[in-house]
Structure 1
Amino acid sequence: MPDLGVSLRAAREAAGVSLSAMAARTHYSKPLLGLLETGKRAIKPEHVTAYAHALNVSVGTPYGSPDDPLRVAHEWLVTDVPAEVHPAAGRRVGATLAGKLERRVIELRHLDDVIGGRDLFPLVREELISAQTVVRAASYTERTGRRLLTVVGELAQLAGWVASDAGHYTEAQRVYLSGVSAARDAGDHALAGQLLSSLSYQVANVGNPADAALLARSAVKGTQGTTTPVVRALLLERVAWAAARARDRDGTQRALDTVDDAYEQRSAGVEEPEWVYWLDRKEIDVMAGRCLIELGDPLTAEPLLSGAIAAYTPEHAREVALHQTWLAESYARAGVLDAALDTIARARRTARDVSSTRLDLRVRAVESLCLVR
């Protein structure tokens, strides 16, 4: 990535280290380092780590701002932080409160199935602030502390998701990254991966797909050996989507294949985290269909989308309408304009009472596509 290469060079030059000296310190060749710094060779986490060690700086320094998603992802990957919870002064709380907060997160998460982000975000944000205050101001045992930090991480994921749905992209990124910190402190690698992959999904939609792909792959790498089959499938879906948005056909197909492989490994004997309850075969088909549209294969996408839409119940209006926009796009790109116009009209009717900026933007974008065609 060119910007990261520039940052590596800036960090080296700020330390007064020549390229030849850096080659000696890192044991990488001078030509390779030159390619990395000019963005002509893909930069991997181990390259950034080598620079940080050679220059005696934090591994996050080459990434720049502490709020940069790529910096957070890299530090999460390479830093072995013990999950310690330090009791703070204040009212002592126990397992009863932790249990109530855990149940509240589940309630809010399921509300997201039927309420748009613009309506739900203020409520989730207040819940997140409240949970963060408990973690910061109360005292508790280490076990309870881990549970509270996990609640904060899960609320941060949900808050980021609904903020993004409401069009608050900067706020969503900030919340996602704060959740990564809480999940790390709780020792929940799968949740940290979910937060980063959720952010990668937003970046793929409204930012640089190359950044999204790096974040998504970091989430998969950082959770190796700690995830259940359905969680693995979810993280790999985000890799597939970022690859599709980057028009990487081979990378998309490989990721979609691994999604299917991971999902088929699920079993009744493996307990999945509650936050992955929604990922099922129809959702996987929808993502595959969307990827195919991005890669220019709308005819193959159509039956995947149609079958999934038919399986939804009416109360899931936002998801139905969103998937209808993709179905309409598949028709439009295949040149079946009557079906495209009919489907996007149905999507608009379905979306009528849904308070979702993400959905509004999709409907308008596909309507414009249909009119142009």
Structure 2
Amino acid sequence: MTSSPYVPAASEPQAPRPNLAFRRLRGQRSPGEFAAAVRRAAREIGERVSCDARYIGRVEAGAIRCPNYAYERVFLHMFPGRSLTDLGFAPRASVRGRGARPPVATAHPRPDDPEVPEHTHHEESDVRRRAFMTGMTGSTATVAVATLTPFGVPLGAAPGDAALDRHPARAGAGAVEEAIRRIRLLDDRHGGDGLYRRAATPLRTAFELLDAGTAQGDVAERLTAGAGELSISVGWLAHDSGRFDDARSHYAEALATSRMAGDEALEAHAFCNTAFLARDAGRPREAVRAAQAAARVAAPLGSPRLLSLLALREAGGWAGLGDRPACERSLARAQALFARGGSDADPEWMSFYGEAELEGLEAQCWSALGEWHRAARHARRAAALQDPHFTRNIALYTAELADDLARSGRPDEAADAGSRALGLLRDVRSSRIESMLATTARVLLPHRRAAGVASFLEAHATSRR
């Protein structure tokens, strides 16, 4: 893809250049058929992508200048011997905030995914803003859309859809969906502490758009589902940053939204996160009930992977209650469901759930039951299996490993794992992980003379200061 010799002014939108090379690769298949082929190829290499006809359309329209890492692996698997540029994409470095325009100064971290860049550095932001505002100044919904900017980037429909999304409610639905993706991406890399307060603005705006009542039909459904999913995303940021009461409130709001809309997928997601929160907040019986409720709602949705995750949520509750037989039954069910593989029915929000997360959640169960050696074995596997993109999860699994090793009488190995986790926390802010490491440090205090323990304790104390 070559750029035009004409360089637009900073305030002038530049239309995306269609990706003709990618279009040729699709051949006679429809966008939906090609999207299905992409999902099949992803499963062949153990990758998870939620590809649909709209995504293929965005690629071909040039709205996605470079795919994220998961899609890159899938595309290169589908077309061996070709590079991203052979597939019509721009070089990765050119879409990471250092492109045609000087990047806007920001103190916020940049996500490690060029598909959703954090800086306002190219034409997408201007196209969205103009599409939202043209001819609609003054309406409640328009003002809401125009202010849906949680991370310094106006959000909304993709540039290729701008002509269709001049209605503020439709543009708002796209904005909410994009906000969810960006929040999840940033959380994967950096954890919840630095994101929670910034995420409150798009959540508030999403419900303002919903309350404006301008959305009808499928747009209203998208906006309702998006507001509910955004509540869960913001709730998770609160959860990860130790704000359990706030998280509980956000999950309850998502649950209420799902019930009013009759959205079973959203309801299952809300119950799933409620179960997770209840376990972490020391309410294991509530965790069991919430996980079981989620499984009942999710049963007709046709996603074994979702049911697998919910079985793990239930297992965590049973472990918290000290009921080993019930925990083992739930773990066995989770593993059997996971072994069925992914499907097109798997929700987009479950992109984090792979073999690494399965191992990590099982490690937490054995840890709660006091089976430290077994817990450490699973935590070690989780850290080794995790995709490098999920920095926060690698830090989490490594911190879990450190604690399990410390409690199983292996202080030198625990200190080594704890030091690695501390290193990862330079880029991750998660009160949950920091609390785990603080507990590990207390367990290791009597072993300060063991190899590596003193240096870990010193590094931990320094990080807290």
Same fold (TM > 0.5): yes
Q: Which residue of 1 aligns with 2:345?
A: 271
- Please point out which of 229, 250, 271 is paired with 1:175: 250
SS in 2 for 1:233: helix
Letter of the 1:206 counterpart: A
Letter of the 1:293 counterpart: S
- For the pair 1:159 / 2:225, whether they are aligned, the reply is no
- For the pair 1:356 / 2:450, whether they are aligned, the reply is no
SS in 2 for 1:352: coil
- Please point out which of 376, 379, 382 is paired with 1:302: 376
Calculate percent identity across the aligned residue pairs: 27
Q: Which residue of 2 aligns with 1:365?
A: 439
Provide closer, same or farther for how the CA distance between residues 207 and 300 of structure 1 changes in structure 2, counting only shifts above 3 A: closer
Bigger RCO of structures 1 and 2 (CA < 8 A, at least 6 apart): 1
**Partners of 1:185 and 1:109 in 2: CA distance:** 25
Q: Which residue of 2 aligns with 1:243?
A: 318
SS in 2 for 1:292: helix
Q: Which residue of 2 aligns with 1:150?
A: 225
Alpha-carbon offset, residue 184 of structure 1: 2.1
Provide closer, same or farther for how the CA distance between residues 106 and 232 of structure 1 changes in structure 2, counting only shifts above 3 A: same
**Partners of 2:446 and 2:213 in 1: CA distance:** 58
Alpha-carbon offset, residue 219 of structure 1: 1.8
Alpha-carbon offset, residue 94 of structure 1: 4.6
Letter of the 1:168 counterpart: R
- For the pair 1:281 / 2:358, whether they are aligned, the reply is no
Letter of the 1:147 counterpart: R
Once the two structures are superposed, the pairs formed by residues 90-239 of structure 1 within 5 Å of their partners are 93-239=168-314
Letter of the 1:123 counterpart: R
Provide closer, same or farther for how the CA distance between residues 265 and 316 of structure 1 changes in structure 2, counting only shifts above 3 A: closer
Alpha-carbon offset, residue 104 of structure 1: 2.7
Q: Deviations over 1:83-140 (max 9, x none)?
A: xxxxxx9656454432332233122212110122121112221111110000001312
**Partners of 1:98 and 1:205 in 2: CA distance:** 32
Alpha-carbon offset, residue 317 of structure 1: 3.2
Once the two structures are superposed, the pairs formed by residues 69-84 of structure 1 within 5 Å of their partners are none
**Partners of 2:373 and 2:350 in 1: CA distance:** 29
Q: Check whether the contact 1:109–1:158 (CA below 8 A) recurs between aligned residues.
A: yes
Q: Deviations over 1:145-195 (max 9, x none)?
A: 111110011101101000111121111111110011112223221221211
- Please point out which of 388, 393, 396 is paired with 1:322: 396
Once the two structures are superposed, the pairs formed by residues 23-42 of structure 1 within 5 Å of their partners are none
Q: Deviations over 1:39-90 (max 9, x none)?
A: xxxxxxxxxxxxxxxxxxxxxxxxxxxxxxxxxxxxxxxxxxxxxxxxxx96
Alpha-carbon offset, residue 254 of structure 1: 1.0
SS in 2 for 1:113: helix
**Partners of 1:215 and 1:294 in 2: CA distance:** 19
**Partners of 1:307 and 1:208 in 2: CA distance:** 28
SS in 1 for 2:251: helix
Q: Which residue of 1 aligns with 2:409?
A: 335
Q: Which residue of 2 aligns with 1:253?
A: 328
**Partners of 2:178 and 2:427 in 1: CA distance:** 28
Gaps of 5+ in 2: 1-138, 142-166, 448-465
- Point out the more displaced range, 252-261 or 93-102: 93-102
Q: Check whether the contact 1:93–1:138 (CA below 8 A) recurs between aligned residues.
A: no
Gaps of 5+ in 1: 1-88
Q: Check whether the contact 2:301–2:345 (CA below 8 A) recurs between aligned residues.
A: no
Q: Check whether the contact 2:298–2:306 (CA below 8 A) recurs between aligned residues.
A: no
**Partners of 2:306 and 2:423 in 1: CA distance:** 33
Provide closer, same or farther for how the CA distance between residues 267 and 234 of structure 1 changes in structure 2, counting only shifts above 3 A: closer
Alpha-carbon offset, residue 334 of structure 1: 2.0
Alpha-carbon offset, residue 372 of structure 1: 4.8
**Partners of 2:299 and 2:388 in 1: CA distance:** 37
Provide closer, same or farther for how the CA distance between residues 126 and 314 of structure 1 changes in structure 2, counting only shifts above 3 A: same
Provide closer, same or farther for how the CA distance between residues 300 and 173 of structure 1 changes in structure 2, counting only shifts above 3 A: same
Q: Which residue of 2 aligns with 1:291?
A: 365
Q: Which residue of 2 aligns with 1:347?
A: 421
Q: Check whether the contact 1:328–1:343 (CA below 8 A) recurs between aligned residues.
A: yes
Greater share of residues in helix: 1
**Partners of 1:277 and 1:317 in 2: CA distance:** 14
**Partners of 1:116 and 1:307 in 2: CA distance:** 21
Letter of the 2:268 counterpart: G
**Partners of 2:198 and 2:261 in 1: CA distance:** 24
Give the aligned length.
284
- Point out the more displaced range, 155-164 or 271-280: 271-280
- Please point out which of 312, 317, 324 is paired with 2:386: 312
Q: Check whether the contact 1:131–1:152 (CA below 8 A) recurs between aligned residues.
A: yes
**Partners of 1:127 and 1:245 in 2: CA distance:** 35
Alpha-carbon offset, residue 318 of structure 1: 2.4
**Partners of 1:267 and 1:212 in 2: CA distance:** 25
Letter of the 2:406 counterpart: A
